[in-house]
Amino acid sequence: MYKLLTVILSVLALNMNAQSFYELEAKTIDGDVFKFETLRGKKVMIVNVASKCGYTPQYEDLEKLWQTYKEKDFIILGFPANDFMKQEPGTDQEIKEFCSLTYGVSFPMMSKITVKGDAMHPVYKWLTMKEKNGVKDSKIKWNFQKYFIDENGNWVECFEPGVKPFDESILKLIE
């Protein structure tokens, strides 16, 4: 009984220390502050993206997914990162132009960040650390890893880079 009570108290303490998703913010690719508070009531997919990656063509399906579900309180946030084999070398302006001209990206794009190591952006600390999100630890494996947050700001799932945007497991969470 004592052991069970200790486990329960540990879980409660962890969840009490967790940070709210809605406290986060990031700089947009245009340099404005994007407050996650504005995402209340929306399902959110966060994706670390890169312009020179084998998964870069996923931009096309991400845009289609965004266009299909944006009216149903769903949003995609793209976070360019140069952490894997320097596959996102451009400036924010170059990234914005590439995404717009090549894939017609219209979902919100953030300023280029770091998604691993000591310089990891606070959003990615929240996504990857159980002590921050209250649910699970995860590791960024490569570009185009996808994180799903529910309409209440809860960490729900992490999808590996090879999971395509229209995968049934993603669609179930959106619908």
Walking along the chain (175 residues) 10 residues at a time, the average pLDDT comes out as 48 62 97 98 98 97 98 97 96 97 97 96 97 96 98 97 97 96
| pLDDT score for 3 | 55
Q: What is the DSSP letter of 20?
A: P
Q: Delineate the domains of the chain, giving CATH numbers in brackets.
A: 2-174 (3.40.30.10)
pTM > 0.85: yes
What is the model's pLDDT at position 165? 97
Q: Return the CA Rg of the chain.
A: 17
Structural tokens at position 15: 């969840």
User: Catalytic site residue 53?
Assistant: yes
Confidence at residue 18, expressed as pLDDT on a 0 to 100 scale = 77
State residue 9's pLDDT score: 42
Nearest Cα to 122, choosing from 135, 111, 109, 106?
111
Q: Where are the alpha helices (DSSP H) in the chain?
A: 2-17, 58-69, 92-103, 122-128, 130-133, 168-174
| Catalytic residue (choose from 53, 76, 81, 105) | 53
